[in-house]
Chain A
Amino acid sequence: MVGVFLFRRGSPTGELTPSLPQVVEVLPGALLALDDRGVVRYASARVTPLVGYSREEVLGQPLARLFAAPSQDRVSQMLARVHGTRTTDRVELSARHRTGTEVLVEVSVDWSPTPAPGAFAVFLRDLSERTELVEALAVRAAELARSNRDLEQFAYVASHDLQEPLRMVGSYTQLLSQRYHGQIDAEADEYLGYAHDGVIRMRELIDDLLAFARVGTRAEPFVRIRSEEVVDQALDNLEAAIATQKGHADHGPLPEILGDRTQLVQLFQNLMGNALKFRGPADPVVRVEAVRSGGEWIFSVRDNGIGIPPEYQEKIFGMFQRLHGRGEYPGTGIGLAICKRVVERHGGRIWVESTGRPGEGTRFCFTFPVVGAVSTEAAPAATDPVVSEATRRAQSLIEERLRELI
Chain B
Amino acid sequence: MPQSAPDRASRVHVLIVDDSPSDVRLIREAMRDSSILSEIHVVADGIEALAYLRQAGPYAGQARPQLILLDLNMPRKDGREVLREIKADSDLRKIPVVILSSSGAPEDIARSYDAHANCYIRKPLDFDEFRGLVRQIETFWFTAAELPSE
**Distance of A158 from chain B, by nearest CB (Å):** 15
Interface membership of B102, Cβ < 8 A: yes
CB-CB under 8 A from B22, the residues of chain A are 168, 171-172
| In contact, A163 and B102 (Cβ under 8 angstroms) | yes
Interface membership of A203, Cβ < 8 A: yes
Interface membership of B140, Cβ < 8 A: no
Which of A163, A166, A171 is close to B127, meaning CB atoms less than 8 Å apart?
Answer: A171
Which residues B109-127 have CB closer than 8 A to chain A?
123, 125-127
| In contact, B126 and A174 (Cβ under 8 angstroms) | yes
* Contact residues on A (Cβ < 8 Å of other chain), bracket: 10 to 19
Interface membership of B107, Cβ < 8 A: no
Interface membership of B142, Cβ < 8 A: no
Interface membership of A167, Cβ < 8 A: yes
CB-CB under 8 A from A171, the residues of chain B are 22, 26, 125-127, 130
**Distance of A332 from chain B, by nearest CB (Å):** 16
Chain A, 165-201, contact with B by CB distance < 8 Å: what is the 0/1 string?
Answer: 0111011101100100000000000000000000000
Interface membership of B89, Cβ < 8 A: no
**Distance of A207 from chain B, by nearest CB (Å):** 10
Interface membership of A404, Cβ < 8 A: no
Instruction: Give B130's nearest chain A residue, CB to CB.
Output: A171
Query: How far apart are the CA atoms of A167 and B130 in the complex, in Å?
Result: 10
| In contact, A166 and B126 (Cβ under 8 angstroms) | no
Interface membership of A132, Cβ < 8 A: no
| In contact, A170 and B125 (Cβ under 8 angstroms) | yes
Chain B interface, DSSP helix/strand/loop, else mixed: helix
CB-CB under 8 A from A174, the residues of chain B are 126-128
**Distance of B146 from chain A, by nearest CB (Å):** 32
Instruction: Give B105's nearest chain A residue, CB to CB.
Output: A160
Query: How far apart are the CA atoms of A170 and B126 in the complex, in Å?
Result: 7
Query: How far apart are the CA atoms of A163 and B102 in the complex, in Å?
Result: 9
Q: How many residues in B have their beta carbons less than 8 Å from beta carbons of A?
A: 11
Query: How far apart are the CA atoms of A172 and B29 in the complex, in Å?
Result: 10
| In contact, B127 and A170 (Cβ under 8 angstroms) | yes
CB-CB under 8 A from B102, the residues of chain A are 163-164, 167
Which residues B124-146 have CB closer than 8 A to chain A?
125-128, 130
Known contacts A164-B102, A167-B102, A168-B22; decide if A175 and B127 are in contact (CB<8 Å): yes
Known contacts A163-B102, A168-B22; decide if A175 and B29 are in contact (CB<8 Å): yes
CB-CB under 8 A from B123, the residues of chain A are 167
CB-CB under 8 A from B126, the residues of chain A are 170-171, 174
**Distance of A197 from chain B, by nearest CB (Å):** 14
Residue of B29, B125, B128 with most chain A CB atoms under a 10 A cut-off? B125
Which of A175, A178, A203 is close to B125, meaning CB atoms less than 8 Å apart?
Answer: A203
**Distance of B106 from chain A, by nearest CB (Å):** 11
Query: How far apart are the CA atoms of A178 and B125 in the complex, in Å?
Result: 16
| In contact, A163 and B125 (Cβ under 8 angstroms) | yes
Query: How far apart are the CA atoms of A243 and B123 in the complex, in Å?
Result: 33
Query: How far apart are the CA atoms of A309 and B123 in the complex, in Å?
Result: 44
CB-CB under 8 A from A203, the residues of chain B are 125
| In contact, B125 and A166 (Cβ under 8 angstroms) | yes
Query: How far apart are the CA atoms of A164 and B128 in the complex, in Å?
Result: 17
Residue of A164, A167, A171 with most chain B CB atoms under a 10 A cut-off? A171
CB-CB under 8 A from B26, the residues of chain A are 171, 175
**Distance of B74 from chain A, by nearest CB (Å):** 13
**Distance of B8 from chain A, by nearest CB (Å):** 28
**Distance of A69 from chain B, by nearest CB (Å):** 55
Query: How far apart are the CA atoms of A175 and B25 in the complex, in Å?
Result: 11
CB-CB under 8 A from A167, the residues of chain B are 102, 123, 125
**Distance of B48 from chain A, by nearest CB (Å):** 22
Offer 20 A-B interface pairs, CB within 8 angstroms, sorted by A. A163-B102, A163-B125, A166-B125, A167-B102, A167-B123, A168-B22, A168-B23, A170-B125, A170-B126, A170-B127, A171-B125, A171-B126, A171-B127, A171-B130, A172-B127, A174-B126, A174-B128, A175-B127, A178-B127, A203-B125
- What residues make up the interface of A, taking CB atoms closer than 8 Å to B? 163-164, 166-168, 170-172, 174-175, 178, 203
By Cβ-Cβ distance, the 8 closest A-B pairs, closest first, are A171-B127, A174-B127, A167-B125, A168-B22, A175-B127, A171-B26, A164-B102, A170-B125
- What residues make up the interface of B, taking CB atoms closer than 8 Å to A? 22-23, 26, 29, 102, 123, 125-128, 130
Add 16 more A-B contacts to A171-B126, A178-B127, A203-B125 (CB < 8 A): A163-B102, A163-B125, A164-B102, A166-B125, A167-B123, A168-B22, A168-B23, A170-B125, A170-B126, A171-B22, A171-B26, A172-B22, A172-B127, A174-B128, A175-B26, A175-B127
